[in-house]
Structure 1
Amino acid sequence: MTDMRRMKHRIVTGFQRHVANPLNRKRSAQQLLETTGRVSGVPRVVPVGGRRTGNEFWFVSEFGDRSDYVRNIRADNRVRVRLRGEWLPGTAHLLPDDDPVRRLSSLPRGNSAAVRVMGTDLLTIRVDLDG
């Protein structure tokens, strides 16, 4: 990874961790992903932006394998997604062969634009929702 990408990752994740994510977690309309911490075993909640299609929820990670929630999914792919205020259990699948830029074109525009601009290692994720 180049120094510029490393610096971009550090700046963006610092802002998200300390400013954006705490604020977004409080918004009732915000979609959230809950994973289990791979080391701590404690639930971890992060804001995401995606779209539900039937019993699937699709979104794109900005930093792929460098995202803590992606590493948590690798360790335990049982997750929960909060959509419209309701928590839904599911199974997350990392899809490295999917075209994340193309996928973003089918997801909400605002979040997709931010992911394209801020992201360095895009990765598509699909959550198969239970029920």
Structure 2
Amino acid sequence: MCARVQPPRQLDDLANAPIRLAPGHDCSGDERAAITAEYIALMADDRMIGGEQLQPADTATTVRVAGGELLVTDGPFADTKEIFGGFYLIEAADLDEALELAARIPAARLGGSVEVRPLAER
């Protein structure tokens, strides 16, 4: 059982965070406000432990160690069509409940996808 913690970002800050849409998707100011309200409602759900939006992929730095040598590369790990835009950590009773929460994430219907994975057990 996980303890409920304060989300890393305050809900007021989330309302001012930029919404990055998948290529080919655009929306009006009213639609953006509705999407923001959906994200705020998700963060207010008691099953939500935390989550954050990540900076764009071009701000990434990739680290590798080969032969004991540190190799640092500016940019994302690999060229892909999809990017990892953020994460949520939830507490769900089962996979069905996790999928129900995932389906509420606006990105899932706005050209993106949501991957659901359990935490590794220790």
TM-score range, shorter chain: 0.3 to 0.5
More helix by share: 1
More strand by share: 1
With the length of structure 1 as denominator, give the TM-score of the two structures.
0.32
With the length of structure 2 as denominator, give the TM-score of the two structures.
0.34
Query: Greater CA radius of gyration, 1 or 2?
Result: 2
